């Protein structure tokens, strides 16, 4: 589920309260403010900041099972990456995965939100139920889709055979393309609910009168969608895409549980690659170096995200 995880925080307009300003004049208040923050700051430093800096540093060291004491290696790990096509492949795999999961979820999440925004009987129940894929444990999502994609007894093969789309059962999870399709579909499925929730919230504060006026002027459904709904949703769209990309770039759990990164390396995105190098081959310095480049791919969306937050504040 590592969903959309990151997708959750969104920029809110941060108002500086007048009380805060006045409080700032008093040293006592300032001290209390810092004390309240202290426990979280210590925890943050211990389990987030320190490990992050440590990983950055480790990327410059050779640190393997054979060299248990880290040895300074300069840019050696990065040179090793340049000479390892498998790692480049992980970047390509990640790009494909992130592109298809994000666009797929965007289209279906938006479509589903537009549908659930129309009044019809049973809509409330459908809205609640729609959130279920998002809250399921990642292993469970992987089980559900692993069973559907199963080559011998899977319902997908049976269905496609029945329709005549395929003439023999496909071994989805043991072919490169099939496995990639499976991990992408699983991630789209579990992220739709969250995207939908964001879009629904955006649709609910839309100006009805504007739409009604346009309709009186003769606009059809398509024109309303294009000229009014989509422009109105633009800010939400940006938030969702940015947070979606950040989340998909980091996805590990469902991929690992469904394919383990295989067959061979077909679905080995960066998260899986780093995990394998660090915890299966114990090449910690090398894994950290890949991780540093991985963080670099996260910088552009993270920068956009922070800029939105700062603007909001």
Partner 1 sequence: MFDLSSTVSKVVFGLLLGLIGLFLFFPLYWLAISSVKSNAELYSIVPTPFPLAPTLTHFVTALTTGKLPMYLFNSLVASGASAALNTLLALYAGYSFAKYRFAGRQPVMLFMLSAQMFPFGLLLISIYPLMSEIGLLDTRTGLILSYIVFALPVSTYMLYSYFSQVPDELIEAARADGASDLRIFHTIVIPISIPPIVTVFLYSFMWSWNDLLYSMTLIVSDEKRTIGPGLLLTYLNEVNSDWGGAMAASLLASAPIVAAFLFLQRYFIQGVTAGAVK
What residues pair up with 61 in beta bridges, in sequence order? 72
b/e 256-290 (16+ beta carbons within 10 angstroms → b): bbbbebeeebbbbbbbbbbebbbeeeebbbbbbbb
The reply on whether position 245 binds partner 1 by CB under 8 A is no
The reply on whether position 9 binds partner 1 by CB under 8 A is yes
Residue 75 tokens read as 């840019």
The reply on whether position 47 binds partner 1 by CB under 8 A is yes
Nearer to partner 1 by C-beta: 63 or 266? 63
Binder among 75, 92, 132, 166 for partner 1 (CB under 8 A) = 132
The reply on whether position 118 binds partner 1 by CB under 8 A is yes
The reply on whether position 289 binds partner 1 by CB under 8 A is no
The reply on whether position 291 binds partner 1 by CB under 8 A is yes
CA torsion 78→79→84→87, rounded to 10°? 20
What residues pair up with 62 in beta bridges, in sequence order? 71
CA dist 300 to 36, 78, 148, Å?
32, 21, 36
Nearer to partner 1 by C-beta: 23 or 178? 23
Scan residues 220-239 and list those touching partner 1 (CB under 8 A): 220-221, 224-225, 229, 235-236, 239
- We find the least distance from the C-beta atom of residue 266 to partner 1, in angstroms, to be 18
Q: Quickly count: other Cβ atoms within 10 Å of residue 72's Cβ.
A: 10
- We find the least distance from the C-beta atom of residue 134 to partner 1, in angstroms, to be 9
Scan residues 162-201 and list those touching partner 1 (CB under 8 A): 189, 192-194, 197-198, 201
Binder among 167, 205, 218, 311 for partner 1 (CB under 8 A) = 205
Helix (H) or strand (E) holding 61: strand 61-62
Binder among 15, 83, 216, 311 for partner 1 (CB under 8 A) = 15
| Peptide bond between residue 263 and the one before it cis (omega within 30 degrees of 0) | yes
Q: Quickly count: other Cβ atoms within 10 Å of residue 75's Cβ.
A: 12
Distance of CA 158 to the CA centre of its chain: 31
Binder among 75, 79, 82, 158 for partner 1 (CB under 8 A) = 158
Q: How many residues bind partner 1 (CB under 8 A)?
A: 125
Binder among 253, 262, 263, 265 for partner 1 (CB under 8 A) = 253
- We find the least distance from the C-beta atom of residue 252 to partner 1, in angstroms, to be 5
Nearer to partner 1 by C-beta: 169 or 178? 169
Which listed range, 20-28, 71-79, 87-95, 170-178, lies at the site for partner 1 (CB under 8 A)? 20-28
Binder among 69, 83, 121, 128 for partner 1 (CB under 8 A) = 128
Contact (CB, 8 A) for 108 and 115:
no
Q: Is 121 helix (H, G, I), strand (E, B) or coil?
A: coil
């Amino acid at each position: 589920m590592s969903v959309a995880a990151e997708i959750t925080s969104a920029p809110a307009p941060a108002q500086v309260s007048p009380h805060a300003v006045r409080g700032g004049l008093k040293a006592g208040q300032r001290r209390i403010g810092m004390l309240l923050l202290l426990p979280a700051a210590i925890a943050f430093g211990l389990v987030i900041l320190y490990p992050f800096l440590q990983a950055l540093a480790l990327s410059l060291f050779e640190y393997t099972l054979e060299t248990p004491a880290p040895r300074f290696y300069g840019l050696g790990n990065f040179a090793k990456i340049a000479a390892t096509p498998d790692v480049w492949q992980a970047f390509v795999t990640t790009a494909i995965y992130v592109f298809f999961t994000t666009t797929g979820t965007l289209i279906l999440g938006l479509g589903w939100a537009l549908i659930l925004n129309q009044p019809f009987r049973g809509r409330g129940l459908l809205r609640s139920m729609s959130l279920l894929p998002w809250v399921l444990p990642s292993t469970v999502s992987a089980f559900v889709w692993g069973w559907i994609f199963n080559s011998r007894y899977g319902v997908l093969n049976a269905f496609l055979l029945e329709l005549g789309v395929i003439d023999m059962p496909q071994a989805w999870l043991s072919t490169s393309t099939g496995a990639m399709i499976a991990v992408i579909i699983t991630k789209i499925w579990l992220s739709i609910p969250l995207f939908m929730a964001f879009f629904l919230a955006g649709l609910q504060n839309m100006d009805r009168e504007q739409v009604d006026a346009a309709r009186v002027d003769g606009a059809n459904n398509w024109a309303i969608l294009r000229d009014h709904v989509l422009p109105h949703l633009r800010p939400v769209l940006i938030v969702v895409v940015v947070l979606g990309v950040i989340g998909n770039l980091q996805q590990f759990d469902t991929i690992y549980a469904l394919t383990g990164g295989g067959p061979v390396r077909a679905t080995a995105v960066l998260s899986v690659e780093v995990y394998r190098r660090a915890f299966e081959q114990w090449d910690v310095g090398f894994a950290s170096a890949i991780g540093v480049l991985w963080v670099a791919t996260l910088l552009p969306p993270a920068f956009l995200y922070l800029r939105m937050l700062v603007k909001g504040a």
